[in-house]
């Protein structure tokens, strides 16, 4: 578990560096009013694609380690489900974008980019979850390097040639390329079972039933949590305009690389806690401590570097406003860590009702606050909304955990007391 967590952390760090470089190129080569529209389109692609990938991917992490020789059947079922969901969701999302966003209203070419993008992004995200689920987390660093470099190479080429939706197209092309390269190897590894457990703790029939149950719940959970957050750049552009949308999206993308560290370690925790429930609590403490240190250090670095860097790349991004957005979003990333670990433990136990209720309530809060806060404070207002969302999530998780912990302690004391009373009666 420790080696896999280190591999995930290394992959996350590499992804962070390359992600920052990609967004630096975007800020340099694309004007804010154009970039705001592009990031709005991209946020819809990543929001919907990430929800689908997380829903099926989390089911993989819960089921694949426990299913043994029937692993290929579960894997293929997940691929088929991902393809169907991403295609249908892509068509709906594309139509929503070109009807709600005035800058691309009626542009069916943009809708096509959204459809293809969601299919590619969901496949790429599912691929990363699959690697972790089959104990190949050490493959993620080279995969992240290739994906990040591909985006950086493709972006300037697109800006210099077609100069249309360059940012989302670069991400889509890089994601599709990684799927084409890696999927055959992953499929072969699962089919042969090389280095994977041959005996399972659940039968094939149980695995399929549990797989669909987990997919339905985790897709809803991801949509209300991950999907809502990933959609915020689109909402900022919609309610505050493209320039504020561009500023928020640039900072949000950079800070999200810090979120990815905690999220990746949470996925690793869910996998190993499912197989070793007795040591789940100790695993969670260790991983949260590591993720916390990295996230805090990354937040300090982001606050020191990002405002000046964006201003140098494009003077339209003033330092003061950008710093405010960075600080508030980084605070949200730090506050979110306990919730991520708690949700991972609940996932390993296949008890998702409480995270689902919390995510639904906070999603409503975010959508209710976003229009007014964006209209009043622009990108800074949107950042405060995200912070409030994260704080309520973690507070809710703390309340649920506390009630469960103290409830179990009280029941344990009561049982001990009854046992002592019986002994006295026998005497």
Long-range own/partner contacts, residues 27-31 (CB < 8 A, 24 or more apart): 27/250, 27/310, 27/313, 27/314, 27/317, 28/313, 28/314, 29/155, 29/156, 29/159, 29/166, 30/159, 30/166, 30/167, 31/314, 31/316
**CA-angle at 233, arms to 229 and 234, nearest 5°:** 105
Residue 308 and residue 285: Cα distance in Å, rounded? 35
Which pLDDT does position 87 carry in this prediction? Answer: 96
Query: What span, in angstroms and rounded, lies between the C-alpha atoms of 357 and 363?
Result: 10
pLDDT of residue 325: 95
Is the sign of the CA dihedral 177, 181, 182, 183 positive or negative? positive
Residue 2 tokens read as 């420790």
Q: pLDDT, tens digit, for every residue of 353-393?
A: 788 888 889 999 999 999 999 999 999 999 999 999 999 99
Instruction: State the burial class of residue 425 (Cβ atoms within 10 Å of its Cβ: 0-12, 13-18, 19+).
Output: exposed
Q: Is the dihedral of CA 101, 107, 108, 110 positive or negative?
A: negative
User: Are 39 and 167 in contact, with CB atoms under 8 Å apart?
Assistant: yes
Q: Which pLDDT belongs to residue 273? A: 58
> First CA to last CA across the chain, in angstroms?
50
| Distance from C-alpha of 406 to C-alpha of 31, rounded to nearest angstrom | 55
Q: What is the pLDDT of residue 281?
A: 64
| Residue written as token pair 């549990």 | 210
The parts of the chain modelled with pLDDT lower than 50 are 409-410
Q: Which residue in the block uniquely carries the two structure tokens 């995510």?
A: 359
Whole-angstrom Cα distance, residue 66 to residue 148? 32
Query: Is there a contact between 347 and 272 (Cβ–Cβ < 8 Å)?
Result: no
Cα–Cα dist 412/153, whole Å: 60
Q: Would you state the pLDDT for residue 225? A: 79
Say if residues 98 and 108 touch (Cβ distance below 8 Å).
yes
> 191-202: per-residue pLDDT in tens?
776 666 666 566
Length of the chain: 427
Q: What is the pLDDT of residues 35-78, one digit of tens each?
A: 999 999 999 999 999 999 988 888 887 777 767 677 778 888 88
Nearest to 226 by CA among 366, 25, 414, 60: 366
d(CA 423, CA 427): 6
pLDDT of 250 reads 92
User: For position 411, what pLDDT does the model report?
Assistant: 53
What's the confidence (pLDDT) of residue 340? 81
Q: What is the mean pLDDT of the chain?
A: 83
Count of C-beta atoms within a 10 Å radius of residue 46: 28
**pLDDT at 43 (0 to 100):** 95
The neighbour count for residue 68, using CB atoms within 10 Å, is 18
3-state secondary structure of 393: helix
Our measurement of the distance from residue 405's CA atom to the centroid of its chain's CA atoms, rounded to an integer in Å, reads 28
Residue that the structure tokens 């985790």 belong to? 218
Domain ranges of the chain: 2-426
- Distance, CA of 338 to CA of 154 (rounded, Å): 37
């Amino acid at each position: 578990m420790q080696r896999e967590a280190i591999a995930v952390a290394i992959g996350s760090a590499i992804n962070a560096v390359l992600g920052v470089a990609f967004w630096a190129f975007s800020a340099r080569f694309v004007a804010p009013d154009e970039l705001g529209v592009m990031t709005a389109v991209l946020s819809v692609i990543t929001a919907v694609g990430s929800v689908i990938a997380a829903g099926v991917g989390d089911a993989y992490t819960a089921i694949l380690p426990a299913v043994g020789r029937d692993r290929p059947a579960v894997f293929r079922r997940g691929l088929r489900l991902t393809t169907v969901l991403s295609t249908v969701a892509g068509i709906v999302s594309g139509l929503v974008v070109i009807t709600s966003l005035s800058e691309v209203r009626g542009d069916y070419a943009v809708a096509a980019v959204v459809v293809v993008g969601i299919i590619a992004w969901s496949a790429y995200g599912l691929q990363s979850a699959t690697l972790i689920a089959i104990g190949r987390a050490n493959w993620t660093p080279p995969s992240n390097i290739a994906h990040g470099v591909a985006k950086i190479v493709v972006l300037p080429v697109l800006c210099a040639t077609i100069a249309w939706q360059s940012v989302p197209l670069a991400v889509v092309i890089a994601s599709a390329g990684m799927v084409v390269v890696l999927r055959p190897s992953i499929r072969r590894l699962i089919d042969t079972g090389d280095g994977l457990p041959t005996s399972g703790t659940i039968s094939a029939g149980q695995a399929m039933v549990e797989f669909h149950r987990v997919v339905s719940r985790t897709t809803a959970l991801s949509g209300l949590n991950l999907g809502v957050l990933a959609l915020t750049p689109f909402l900022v552009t919609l309610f505050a305009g493209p320039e504020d949308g561009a500023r928020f999206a640039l900072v949000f993308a950079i800070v999200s690389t810090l979120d990815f560290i905690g999220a990746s370690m949470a996925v690793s925790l869910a996998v190993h806690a499912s197989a070793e429930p007795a040591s789940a609590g100790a695993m969670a403490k260790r991983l949260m401590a590591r993720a916390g240190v990295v996230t805090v250090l990354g937040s300090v670095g982001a606050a020191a570097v990002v405002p000046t860097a964006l201003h140098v790349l494009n003077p339209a991004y003033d330092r003061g406003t950008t710093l405010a957005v960075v600080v508030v979003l980084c605070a949200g990333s730090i506050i979110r860590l306990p919730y991520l670990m708690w949700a991972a433990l609940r996932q390993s136990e296949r008890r998702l009702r409480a995270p689902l209720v919390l995510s639904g309530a906070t999603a409503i809060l975010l959508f209710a606050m976003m229009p007014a806060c964006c209209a009043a404070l622009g990108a800074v207002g949107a950042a405060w909304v995200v912070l409030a969302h994260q704080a309520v999530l973690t507070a809710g998780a703390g309340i649920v955990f506390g009630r469960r912990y103290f409830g179990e302690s009280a029941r344990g004391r009561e049982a001990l007391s009854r046992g002592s009373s019986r002994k006295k009666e026998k005497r």
